[in-house]
Amino acid sequence: MRNLIAANWKMHKTRAEARDLARALADALAAAPASPSAEVVLFPPFTAFEAVREGLGEAKIGFGGQDVYPAESGAFTGEISPGMLLDAGCSWVLTGHSERRHILGESSVLVGEKTAFALKQGLCVILCVGESLAEREAGRLEDVLQAQLADGLANVPAEAVSPESFSVYVERLDERGEVLLLPKTWMALDDREPSRGYVSVLAAYPAD
């Protein structure tokens, strides 16, 4: 299994700032010891895609979208399609990030639709799962992860999932309620729902 190093820039960086940071990252990677098993992926704002491409030059660093809508085109104000991301040079996309779930009210069912459609359209997907502080304090961690994984993978055929195209990231909370992004976990689908055993493994990650 290859290693993946991903950086989500969220709502940060103008085009000039994004270009400079991408160039600095490319230079740093070029000077670092070779690590052929690790893939580096950036998730800049949509407005900075072209600037990031310019800054990266020939560096072997990928980039992707922070979100996607499950349709090829249409009257979906403010949204972006998989085709648009691919056309901009993206190879990856995030789905189900905690901020989209908890701040913007995105449901796990919608996250699942985005995940399946993005994979079908040729993007590699990072599906984010994780509990809110209230859910953890209520002792619902495993139930939350089970539901998020089940909905997130509901329409994803087993053959569409591989270590090259799909990852699950667990966003856990520390004691202050701040999000910790834990190491990548990859899962193979051998049935329609993730097993309780798998969810227990995710839940066993320390939250501090």
**Calpha distance 5→121 (Å, rounded):** 23
Are 110 and 100 in contact by the 8 Å Cβ rule? The answer is no
**pTM of the entire structure?**
0.81
Are 152 and 192 in contact by the 8 Å Cβ rule? The answer is no
Catalytic pick among 106, 113, 131, 171 = 171
Per-residue pLDDT of the chain (208 residues; tens, 9 = 90+): 457 788 999 999 999 999 999 999 999 988 887 655 678 899 999 999 999 999 999 999 999 999 999 999 999 999 999 999 999 999 999 999 988 998 999 999 999 999 999 999 999 888 888 877 788 789 888 888 888 888 988 888 777 666 666 666 666 545 544 444 444 444 444 444 555 555 555 555 555 4
Give the Cβ contact number of residue 1 at 10 Å. Answer: 10
| Angstrom distances, CA of residue 52 to CA of 24, 57, 128 | 11, 9, 23
Assess whether 12 carries a catalytic annotation.
Answer: no
Assess whether 171 carries a catalytic annotation.
Answer: yes
Give the Cβ contact number of residue 199 at 10 Å. Answer: 22
Catalytic pick among 50, 79, 97, 175 = 97
